[in-house]
Amino acid sequence: MVFTLNFFLIAPSIAQEQDKEQKQSVQYHVYAGGIHALEANLNLSFSDDARYSSVLTAKTYGLLGRLAPWDGIFESHGWAGTINRPEMHQSTATWRGSEETKTYRYNKDTSFDGLKIIDDGKKKKVKAVDSKLTNGTTDILTSTLNTMQMVAAQNKCDGTDEVFDGKRRYKIHFKQKSEVILEASKWNVYSGPAVQCTVEVEPVAGAWHKKPRGWLSIQEQGRERGKIPTVWFAKVAEGKPAIPVKVMVKTSYGTLFMHMTSYDDGTKALTLKK
């Protein structure tokens, strides 16, 4: 993994400074073109044996949920520290009753330990993966968690990780744009200072298409409109990782917003007023 020098100079990590066990639970509502399209939950925890867990669940909501029933569970577990390192990352996506699970395993030295894919209960044969695509990589949840700790420790979000997604290797860049003050609204419960950062994916190797697809396509649609995907991180509670409190993504179909609607860490709770 590659991070700016400043990140390595951080004093003891957030995970090391906190109590024996820390948990944060966050809920989000996602709006696309003004329509409530998704609901998501993020659950973070650190244990006294220097382990971390990050679990994100999401599903389509309302009319969209009936027309396009999708849900996903994305989770990472591993070794906690100034830089968290995954031992296992798993993604499970269910579309109209069809389920696919991908499980990635890593060694503590960041070497890759294998990929397993289960499609509708059947194990798929996975071709041997070139170590040039995998070794030294992390997963997207762990990369984001490292950035959250960086914001909490020094109020900055500049850093780069490399991620393997099963077919491709890419760099994910978090770049700081500004420090801002956010106000709570009928959509978002958070009020206070935040660090505004862009998130950019850069292909490195593997099976990339000539024309951008998926997230890369969405990113380039935003670039054409003068705004690549942007996330606002905030220290909702002192001594704990900063939390993404708002996300904005511009596409050719409109603007997508993700708003934090509740937060609870056992000592502090925020809930959106209805």
Q: State how far the Cα of 170 lies from the Cα of 201, in Å rounded to an integer.
A: 7
pTM: predicted TM-score of the whole model, two decimal places: 0.88
Residue 240: pLDDT band with limits 50, 70, 90: very high
* 125 CB-near residues (< 8 Å, 6+ apart): none
* Res 16 pLDDT > 70: no
Q: What are 198-238's pLDDT values in tens digits?
A: 999 999 998 887 776 777 788 888 788 888 999 999 999 99
- Tokens standing for 216? 């890369």
Give me the pLDDT at residue 210, please: 73
Give the pLDDT confidence of 130-181 residue by residue, as tens digits: 999 999 999 999 999 999 999 999 999 999 999 999 989 999 999 999 999 9
Q: Which helix (H) or strand (E) holds 193?
A: strand 192-206
Does residue 242 surpass a pLDDT of 50? yes
> What local confidence, expressed as pLDDT, does residue 88 receive?
98
Tokens of 202: 């850069």
pLDDT on residue 178: 95
Residue in the structure block whose two tokens are 């990339």: 208
| pLDDT tens per residue across span 41-99 | 999 999 989 999 999 999 999 988 998 999 999 999 999 999 999 999 999 999 988 99
Q: Which of 138, 209, 205, 208 is CA-nearest to residue 174?
A: 138
